[in-house]
Each structure stands twice: as C-alpha cells, then as structure tokens.
C-alpha cells in the first residue's frame, strides 16, 4: 500500500508493480494534488553538494532519461541543461569551488566566462561576472509525470484509490503493519509506504512513530506565453545557499526557465509558515524583481498567475527513505523538500529494491545501460535518524 499519489508515490508504485509486487495507491485528493502539482519540475544536479543527496540525484537523472525513452514525450522531459550565474567575482569564485567538488563526484560542470554568458542566454542582463553550465540538469512537467507513472503502474496491475483520506494504520498484536483505515473502509496490507509528502509526519504518527516533516511554503510566478526566450534553467548563485538553509524566514533567489508551452516560470521562495496559503505580496514581489534583474525583458511581461505549494522539509535536508525499524512493515519515502521531482525515480526504485530484496538497477526495469550505476547507500536516509 502506497500512501500518496504525488510523484514520489507514483514512482514507488511504478517500480514496485513492475517488480511483480501487488500494489495499491491511496490519496486523500487527486493525482498530484499536493506538492507535486505545485512544483516546477526541476531535475537538478547543479544545486547539490557531494554527498548522499547528489548520489540519489545522479541515479535519478539516469532513470528520468530512461523513463522518457520508454514512456515518450507525455511528461515533457527536457534535458536542456542549467546555467548558474554570479553577479560578482566573489560569487563566481564560490561557484568555482562548489563545481570543483561536484566534478570530483562525477557531475559535468563547465565554467562560463562573463563574455560567453550570452552564447548560452542571449537575453541575460549585462554585467554578470560569469557562471557555470550544467548540461545534465533537466526538467519535466511534474503533474504529468506523476499521472503517467501511475498509469504505467496500473498497467502492471496497481490499483488506485483517490479521494480517500487515511485515518489510521492498522497494527497487529506483534506491532507490525496489517493495513490502513480510511474514511470509507479498511484495506489490508503487509507493507505501507509513507509517500505522503508534507503530510508524511501525520502518517508516521498514525503508526505511532515521529518523523519531523514540516511544510516549507514556496511561490512560483507564471508569465504570459512568449517565444522561447529562456533556453536553460537559469538561477542566481545564492539559490544553492537558500536550498541548504534551515531558516524559517522568507528567502528567495531568482530562478527562471521557459516551458514548452511558452510560459516562463519564475521562482523560488522558501519560508516556514505552517500550511498558511495566504498570498504573500512580499514574496511574489521579490521574485519578480529578482527575475527582472536576471532577464531585464521580463520587466514588461505580464504575469498570468502565482501559485504556491508546500515542500516537505526535514531538519537535515535529506529525505526519509526505507523501512522504519520501529514498526515492521512501515516504509517511508517522504521529506524530499524541493527536490522531490528530481529524486522520485531513484527513491521509487530503491524502495522497490528494499521490498523485493533484489537489485533492480540494470535489470529489465531500468535498461542495461544502468547496469554499472553506482549503488546508493540508504543509511543516511534512515527514517529513525531523528530519534535521540
């Protein structure tokens, strides 16, 4: 039983069903009705320092490419690359040092001088100090990705139950998972995968354990359709620091990208305000100014709408992935914060590997070109790591 029909739950269901397991997915709302539906679709290596999250992202990058080949253009996969820019020499030096560590971990990163920036993005503001090009950065349309992964999972036998809120986790006398209760019925299951995103802590508590998942609100602006005027995922150097910050206060850094439909997406803000959905004029105003600082032509472009979502935040900025030793049969796949779209396939595959006890990388599920993919150690993601 997978709780959550966002992209993480969809990926867990997809790989588990493809591995021959009996799978059901349940969600209180529609497919991609939570964080996934409010995401930009980032598949980034460029913002991750060497370590466990980068290793997960590198595996996911291969898997997303593999899924795009298998499922076709249905979820708008674009391997367009990323461009990180610095406003001054100090920022460029910081990018240079960051990229050196990434290169040592196998990430492709090319320094771009100030004189060459306009070869990559002709409409960038003048006067920038330089940047780095990351050809492995990509993008998908996240709601479509979740929907098509679930459709493929259903084709492999998975069941889908939407509009049913889980109200309890049924445990046996031995403390092991026996199923879930919803507002309508009881469903038997020997394993429950908690892929509930920002509600992951709530699901954990239903099973009697704590997982400190908190919502971190973010806004995205959507412009009117334009010719393809932004070629890459483009963001300012301070975005990396914002992602790594644990501050509850409002943070924002310019992130600009075009989409196949012609609209330009502008992000990204971060703040911990609970599940407050109030439109923050301070946040969206700051986004607009930062985007225009990167691309001055945006000053005269209409914004059609602003939308918001809640990233599932854990204190150490790593997701919880794998079996919870405190409750036999409880497995977590949540807390990915803003990287969940990018990390979804690797998360789903690793969960399926743990459930089946088999190595699936390089099997018929992923294609032979992943045979030599580096194994990912789940120890840094263990769900009980927050227990004193």
pLDDT of residue 172: 97
Least confident of 77-91, 116-130, 245-259, 290-304: 245-259
pLDDT tens per residue across span 326-373: 999 999 999 999 999 999 999 999 999 999 998 887 666 676 556 667
**146 and 190 share one domain:** yes
pLDDT of residue 228: 87
**152 and 299 share one domain:** no
Angstrom CA distances, 144 to 73, 301, 337, stand at 10, 27, 19
**166 and 21 share one domain:** yes
**Is residue 273 over pLDDT 60?**
yes
Q: Domain of 298?
A: 82-135+214-313
**Is residue 151 over pLDDT 80?**
yes
pLDDT of residue 254: 83
**150 and 295 share one domain:** no
Comparing 115 with 251, which gets the higher pLDDT?
115
Distance linking the first and last C-alpha atoms of the chain = 29
Between CA 46 and CA 364 the distance in angstroms is 29
pLDDT of residue 246: 63
pLDDT of residue 252: 80
Q: Residue 222: count other Cβ atoms within 10 Å of its Cβ.
A: 16
Q: What band does 52 get if pLDDT is binned at 50, 70 and 90?
A: very high
CATH assignment at residue 131: 3.30.9.10
pLDDT of residue 243: 60
Last residue of a domain, one of 286, 313, 340: 313
Mean pLDDT of 285-294: 94
pLDDT tens per residue across span 8-43: 999 999 999 999 999 999 999 999 999 999 988 999
**304 and 331 share one domain:** no
Q: Pull the structure tokens for residue 311.
A: 């990233």
- SS3 call for 162: strand
Mean pLDDT of 149-157: 97
Q: What band does 98 get if pLDDT is binned at 50, 70 and 90?
A: very high
Q: Pull the structure tokens for residue 16.
A: 């588990």
Between CA 12 and CA 334 the distance in angstroms is 11
Between CA 150 and CA 144 the distance in angstroms is 10
Last residue of a domain, one of 263, 279, 313: 313
pLDDT of residue 329: 98
Could you tell me what percent of the chain has a pLDDT over 90? 84
**224 and 289 share one domain:** yes
CATH assignment at residue 352: 3.50.50.60
**296 and 222 share one domain:** yes
Strand pairing class (130-134; 110-113): antiparallel
**239 and 109 share one domain:** yes
**57 and 149 share one domain:** yes
Q: For the chain, what is the domain count?
A: 2
User: What order do you get walking across the sheet with 192-194 strand by strand?
Assistant: 159-162, 24-27, 2-3, 192-194, 330-334, 320-323
pLDDT of residue 383: 97
Q: Residue 359: count other Cβ atoms within 10 Å of its Cβ.
A: 10
**219 and 327 share one domain:** no
Last residue of a domain, one of 313, 345, 361: 313
Between CA 45 and CA 49 the distance in angstroms is 9
pLDDT of residue 245: 58
DSSP class of residue 14 equals H
**322 and 371 share one domain:** yes
pLDDT tens per residue across span 206-259: 999 999 999 999 999 999 999 989 999 999 987 666 565 566 778 887 899 999
pLDDT of residue 367: 61
Provide the mean pLDDT of the chain. Answer: 93
**164 and 56 share one domain:** yes
pLDDT tens per residue across span 171-202: 999 999 999 999 999 999 999 999 999 999 99
């Amino acid at each position: 039983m997978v709780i959550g029909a966002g992209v993480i739950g969809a990926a867990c269901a997809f790989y588990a069903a493809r591995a021959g397991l009996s799978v059901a997915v349940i969600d209180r709302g529609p497919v991609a009705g939570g964080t996934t539906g409010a995401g930009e679709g980032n598949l980034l290596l460029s913002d991750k320092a060497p370590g466990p999250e980068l290793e997960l992202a590198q595996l996911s990058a291969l898997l997303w490419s593999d899924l795009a080949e298998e499922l076709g253009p249905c979820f708008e996969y674009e391997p367009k690359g990323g461009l990180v820019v610095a406003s001054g020499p100090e920022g460029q030096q910081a990018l240079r040092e960051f990229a050196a560590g990434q290169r040592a971990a196998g990430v492709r990163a090319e320094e771009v001088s100030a004189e060459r920036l306009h070869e990559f993005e002709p409409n960038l503001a003048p006067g920038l100090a330089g940047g780095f090009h990351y050809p492995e950065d990509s993008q998908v349309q996240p709601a479509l990705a979740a929907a098509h992964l679930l459709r493929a999972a259903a084709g492999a036998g998975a069941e889908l139950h939407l509009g049913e809120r889980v109200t309890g986790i049924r445990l046996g006398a031995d403390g092991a998972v026996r199923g879930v209760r919803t507002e309508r019925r009881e469903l038997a299951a020997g394993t429950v995968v908690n892929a509930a995103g920002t509600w992951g802590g709530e699901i954990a508590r239903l099973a009697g354990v704590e997982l400190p998942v908190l919502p971190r609100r973010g806004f995205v602006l959507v412009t009117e359709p334009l010719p393809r005027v932004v070629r890459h995922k483009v963001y300012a150097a301070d975005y990396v620091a914002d992602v790594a910050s644990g501050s509850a206060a409002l943070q924002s850094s310019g992130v600009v990208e075009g989409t196949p439909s012609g609209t330009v997406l502008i992000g990204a803000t971060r703040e911990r305000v609970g599940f407050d959905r109030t439109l923050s004029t301070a946040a969206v105003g700051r986004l607009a100014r930062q985007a225009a600082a990167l691309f001055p032509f945006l000053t005269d472009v209409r914004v059609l709408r602003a939308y918001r979502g809640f990233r599932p935040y854990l204190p150490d900025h790593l997701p919880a992935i794998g079996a919870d030793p405190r409750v036999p049969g409880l497995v977590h796949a949540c807390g990915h914060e803003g990287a969940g779209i990018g990390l979804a396939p690797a998360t789903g595959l690793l969960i399926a590997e743990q459930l089946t006890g088999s190595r699936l990388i390089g099997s018929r599920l992923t294609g032979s070109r992943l045979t030599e993919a580096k194994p990912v150690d789940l120890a840094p993601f263990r769900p009980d790591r927050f227990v004193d």
